[in-house]
Amino acid sequence: MINLAVIPSMVLFFVVWYGDKVEKEPPKLLLKLVLFGCLSTVSAVIFGLLGELVVGLFLDTESLIYLIVDNFLLTALIEEGGKFFFLKIGTWKNKEFNYTFDGVVYAVAVSLGFATIENILYVISNGILGGIFVAIIRALLSVPGHVIFAVFMGYYYGLAKYAEAEGDSGKCRKNLVKALLVPTLLHGFYDFCLSTESGIFILIFFLFDLTMTIVAIVRFIKFSKGDTAIPGANALAADDK
C-alpha cells in the first residue's frame, strides 16, 4: 500500500532529474528538499485547520464564496506558500543554485516530498481496496498536478535568481511573486473545479488540466534545453571547492 503511494513521486522525480542536462544536483541537497517538502505538510495541516475555523465563523460553508476561499486560500495558498517557503530557505543562497533550470529541480523535489506524505495519508486512511483505488486516481491526477505546479514555481524561481545575479532587483521580486502566485492560482482553480462536483466544471477541469499539462511540458523542455548559467554562481562554487 505504501509503495503505491510513493512510486508515482519517485517516477516523476526521475523524469525531472533526467531533464537537468547540464549539471546534476547533489543528492544530499535533493534529499534535504524532499524532507522539507514532507515537513511542509505539517504547516499545511496546521494553517489549514486554523483557517477553516476562522473563515467558518464568517462564511456559510455551503456557499460559493466559501468554496472559492477554501480552495484558493485555505488549500492552494497555504500548500504552495509552504512549499515556496521551504524552497527559498533551502536553496536561495546555496552555491549549487548556479543554473536557471535548477529552480525547477528544487521546486519539484519539495513538491514531491509534500505529495508523497499527502498520498500516504490518503491511501492508508481508505483501507485496502479503497486505498488502491485512491492511489491509482492520485497517481493519475494529484501527484502529476503537484509536479506541474512545481514546474511553474521553479521556472519563475530560476528566472528570479538569474535576475538577482544581474542586479535587477525589480525583476527578481516580480518573478518571485510569480513563483508563488502562478502555482497558487493554478492549484486553486484545479481544486475548485473538482470540489464543485458539477458536470460542467468537471468538463472544464479536464480541459484545464490538459492545457496546463501541455504548457508545463513545453515550458519544461524549453527551459531544460535553454538552461542558463547564473552570473557569478559558478565562480562562487569553484571558490568553495
pLDDT tens, 71-128? 999 999 999 999 999 999 999 999 999 999 999 999 999 999 999 999 888 888 777 6
Q: Maximum Cα–Cα distance for the chain, whole Å?
A: 59
The total of other beta-carbon atoms located within 10 Å of residue 64's CB is 11
Residue 126: burial class (beta carbons within 10 Å; 0-12, 13-18, 19+): middle
Are 162 and 188 contacting, i.e. CB atoms less than 8 angstroms apart? no
Residue 148: burial class (beta carbons within 10 Å; 0-12, 13-18, 19+): buried
pLDDT in tens, 118-169: 988 888 877 766 767 777 777 778 889 999 999 999 999 999 999 999 999 9
| DSSP label at residue 166 | T
> Which residue reads 458539477 in cell numbers?
198
The residues with which 99 forms a beta bridge, in sequence order, are: 229
Q: Give me the pLDDT at residue 189, please.
A: 98
